[in-house]
Amino acid sequence: MECAGKGRGTRCMGSARRRCGRCGAVAYCSVSHQMSHWNEHKEECERLEQQMKRADVLNDFPFTFSQEATATSQVCEKQGSRCSFLSKRGIHQLGMWMHECCCTHSEESSSSLASFDSSRLLDDGWNLSGDLCPCHDPISPISECVSSWLDYYEWRCIPLHSPVALLLHWPLTIYHAAHIAGVWSSTVETRKLCVHYLGPEKELLQLAAFGELLALFPGVQIHIEFIGPAIPRQRDGEKISLCSYAHCLDADCICNFSSENLSQIANTGKSTSMTLQLRSGFYHERYRSLAEDLCPHLVISPNAGIAAYPSWLPTIELIKEINVPAIFSDYCEEACHLAACCIKSVTGRSLSHPIQLNPFRQPMMVEDSALLLPCYSNCFLFGI
């Protein structure tokens, strides 16, 4: 990781291996850089210390691969990596898994976003056998008891060695956010859900995984507006119909017979459908035109990074004005704390939904984090 005192007048003396003796969340290349950084770090040190004490809770997953995917020494010191994890399971650089490791560089990701073919992406599938993935309707309807990865895997009859949670954290976080924001009950009653999804990036290349929302919101007409600057202008306005689950590798599975998989009928007897629409630009630039067609029931922004991007300020002002429930996530608790401070400076209000651990966070630690805090995609949630 990078020295926390980098840029303090003198060049770094080497790798950052000298950790703060109190919080253990930051590291330095030398004593001099640690001393020069103290005036800044002392304000956050106690807070980071408390966050580090909760590391075991963050790393607690029910999967058989949990130790491999969450071991700090392996991830941070490269003794293990996402690449090796995916390779062991035969899914490295395949389909939706392609953007789950650093082999696909940011330049390639940008190129992929600019040229992506939504119809091809929806055909990517899981690249796993049918017993390892949710490729068809659930055996039983979803219940409100699905509140953890263990609950979900049991409901979908998926074994705990399956890696699908690495992609399913996207739709499961939407599902959980709907519960947190209090829109779940109204969605069940009206059979409609409109979500404004802010700042999508690599999930645009993993759209097939969002098909699981068909099972999570049975009988509901789902519409998701993906809005963000990462969406290429030439894709602006593109509408995608997502009416099936991502398919498995088994040739004789029902999911590979399009006529069967395209007619998802929920256990209620009412059909479930989903449309996705792409919008290029910032939310505060696009909202007025979007609201003319359909106002959102929920705004969500995964891995938002509110404190890191000034462009969030007018968007936060807009969300306050329209008074729609908004749920954000970030990689670590500290990022959420900083975001909460930014939000309060703009709105003058505290969070309506306090910072809380997302039970459906991605169960693989983020590589190359700026802090030694455990970091996961969609790790913590908070809302306004």
Number of domains observed in the structure of the chain: 2
Residues 9 and 67 in one domain: no
Domain end call among 35, 53, 71: 53
∠ CA 198-203-204, rounded to 5°: 85
Residues 23 and 70 in one domain: no
Which residue carries 């999570």 as its tokens? 216
Residues 44 and 147 in one domain: no
Residue 195 has φ and ψ, to the nearest 5°, of -115, 130
Residues 48 and 114 in one domain: no
* pTM score: 0.91
Residues 78 and 24 in one domain: no
Residues 9 and 43 in one domain: yes
What are the residues facing 228 on neighbouring strands? 280
Contacts of 106 (CB under 8 A, 6+ apart): none
Tell whether the model's pLDDT for residue 262 goes beyond 50: no
Per-residue pLDDT tens over the stretch 53-70: 999 999 999 999 999 998
pLDDT (0 to 100) of residue 80: 59
Per-residue pLDDT tens over the stretch 300-324: 999 999 999 999 999 999 999 999 9
Instruction: Please choose, from the candidates 232, 329, 333, the residue with its C-alpha nearest in 3D space to the C-alpha of residue 278.
Output: 232
- The one-letter code for the residue type at 148 is S
CA distance 248 to 158: 13
Mean pLDDT of the chain: 89
Confidence band, pLDDT 50/70/90 cuts, at residue 190: confident
Which residue did the predictor score with more confidence, 107 or 224? 224
The answer to the question of residue 157 being in a domain is: yes
Which residue did the predictor score with more confidence, 267 or 249? 249
User: Three-class SS string for 158-209?
Assistant: CCCCCCCHHHHHHHHHHHHHHHHCCCHHHHHHHCEEEEEEECCCHHHHCHHH
| Owning domain of residue 89 | 63-383
Residues 44 and 130 in one domain: no
Residues 9 and 152 in one domain: no
What are the residues facing 18 on neighbouring strands? 28
- The one-letter code for the residue type at 61 is F
Per-residue pLDDT tens over the stretch 118-152: 656 677 899 999 999 999 999 998 987 799 999 99
Joined tokens for residue 232: 């290429």
Which residue did the predictor score with more confidence, 282 or 266? 282
Confidence band, pLDDT 50/70/90 cuts, at residue 116: low
The answer to the question of residue 43 being in a domain is: yes
DSSP state, 381? E
Contacts of 202 (CB under 8 A, 6+ apart): 99, 109
Tell whether the model's pLDDT for residue 268 goes beyond 50: no
CA distance 164 to 152: 11
Residues 140 and 162 in one domain: yes
CA distance 245 to 92: 21
Confidence band, pLDDT 50/70/90 cuts, at residue 6: confident
pLDDT (0 to 100) of residue 60: 96
Percent of the chain's residues with pLDDT above 90: 71
Q: Is the Cβ–Cβ distance between 363 and 68 less than 8 Å?
A: no
Residues 329 and 378 in one domain: yes
Residues 217 and 142 in one domain: yes
The answer to the question of residue 58 being in a domain is: no
